[in-house]
Amino acid sequence: MAATPLQSFQSLVASLQEQGRAPEHFTLSYSAEHSQFIRFNHAKVRQAGEVQQASCVLKLVKDGRQAELQFTLGNDNDVDQQRLAEAIEQLRQTLPLLEADPYLQLNDSAWQSHNVQDQALPGIDQVLMQIEQGAGELDLVGIYAAGPICRGFASSFGAFGWHQANSFNFDWSLFHRNGQAVKANYAGQHWDNDAFALRLRQAREQLEYLGRPLKTLAPGEYRAYLAPAAVDEIMGMLCWGGFSSQSLATKNSPLQRLYAGDARLNQQVSIAEQVSGSLSPAFSDEGTPRSDLRLIEQGQGLDRLICARSAVEFELAANGADSHESPCALSMAAGDLEQRDVLSRLGTGLYISNLWYLNFSDLPAARMTGLTRFATFWVEDGQIQAPVSTMRFDDSVYSLLGSQLEALTAERELILSTSTYGQRQTSSSHLPGALVKRLTLTL
């Protein structure tokens, strides 16, 4: 019988402990998945496959020097032990060639963490049948990704963490024959046919609005409601170095003026890194238990994400951030705008379901540009009038979530990452929608 991922990892850790030579220290992080990927176009299967992969990152430390090597595992104990031995050897040969690293800091605590969520996932036949029954006559396009994800960490100081979760994420769009589309998602750990049917029905209802004649807007300033998925795109840009202690110190953060106290966001804005209770592992990629952090409190910059290396360089206290210092479980506090009141409070303006392809037009000013995408509507007197053609915005976060923020919704949406670059991601965000008094459209 083949070893489980946990057994494979434990075997490698045991072998590493045996091969260790004092005063060497090591950390070993582990990542694995067995994923089904089914792509759809026109509600038919366009491309389908399975991917089974596992890899380790070995960090070897000696005499104040460190080096890392990531290697793919071959799902065979002999092969994997051989690769581990080769990795150790390469790093042992490398360390004497390096200068001592002044920013080296190792976590020497022997923390333990174990979290396994191994609910059964639906069979492919069941999923395919549900999608065919629910959307067979629609123009559905998207991807179903499912399977177990594992993360592990161990160190020569005795730390050991294991995280394993089975999950699925069906991310799809329904297209109207006029080219307009609505985006939807059904993700979690337990597939419920009724819940999926409800999501599909909600998307179908929005699709009917998209059949109305398209309204073309002129560039200018508009009231707008940004649904949680649209807010998530803005947050995604802020996560790109925004809260990173290194980016803040080296003036490459879009929130440098916020954290310097030179600018602030609206008092309604509070943002946390809320790892506890999220789907993310309780430990970082460098083997530190993660902390819940208050990143922005009532519009003011507070905690920043600090990895071990930054802690030494910038004389700060590490707080469990990943080495790239990006949030993995972003949580924005809710406001008091009830979802059922969104259209009436918006009055006349734009209802924006999603934004797309954001980037900075002036990073230090947190000014960003991007486009509407999927189900953007023109609303008059609280009534949806027409879908709106793709428009570009260019605005500062200090305006959108600062001076021009009118309200945040009382209900929040949990958005699980659909990213599959390299591997399926475990990050998430929990966000309200935002009503803004002025959004600047430029093209």
> Considering only residues 161-190, where is the footprint of other proteins by CB under 8 A?
171-173, 175, 179, 181, 183
Using an 8 Å Cβ cutoff, are 239 and 321 in contact? no
State the DSSP code for 101.
-
User: Smallest distance from the beta carbon of 174 to other proteins, in angstroms?
Assistant: 10
Q: Which is nearer to other proteins, 7 or 72 (CB)?
A: 72
Tokens of 17: 């402990």
Cα distance between residue 221 and residue 232, in whole Å: 22
According to DSSP, the residues that pair with 67 across neighbouring strands are 60
Neighbours of 264 (CB within 10 A): 17
Q: Which is nearer to other proteins, 156 or 274 (CB)?
A: 156
11 is a contact residue toward other proteins (CB under 8 A): no
128 is a contact residue toward other proteins (CB under 8 A): yes
Torsion of CA 198, 204, 205, 206, to 10 degrees: 120
Q: Which is nearer to other proteins, 93 or 117 (CB)?
A: 93
User: Smallest distance from the beta carbon of 145 to other proteins, in angstroms?
Assistant: 6
Question: Which residue's entry shows tokens 């803005």?
Answer: 234
| Cα-trace Rg, the chain | 24
Binding to other proteins (CB under 8 A) within 361-400 occurs at: 361-365, 367, 369-371, 373, 390, 392, 394, 396
* Of 138, 145, 293, 296, the one binding other proteins by CB under 8 A: 145
Using an 8 Å Cβ cutoff, are 351 and 338 in contact? no
User: Smallest distance from the beta carbon of 204 to other proteins, in angstroms?
Assistant: 16
CA distances from 14 to 74, 354, 365, 381 (A): 18, 48, 50, 67
State the DSSP code for 400.
I
Binding to other proteins (CB under 8 A) within 44-83 occurs at: 44-55, 59, 65-76, 79, 83
Q: Which is nearer to other proteins, 144 or 377 (CB)?
A: 144
Binding to other proteins (CB under 8 A) within 269-288 occurs at: none
Q: Which is nearer to other proteins, 110 or 260 (CB)?
A: 260
Tokens of 313: 């360089």
Binding characters for other proteins, 85-104, by CB under 8 A (x = yes)? --x--xx--x--xxx-xxx-
Binding characters for other proteins, 191-230, by CB under 8 A (x = yes)? ----------------------------------------
Tokens of 119: 């609910």
Closest by alpha carbon to 352, among 428, 439, 416, 271?
439
Q: Which is nearer to other proteins, 30 or 273 (CB)?
A: 30
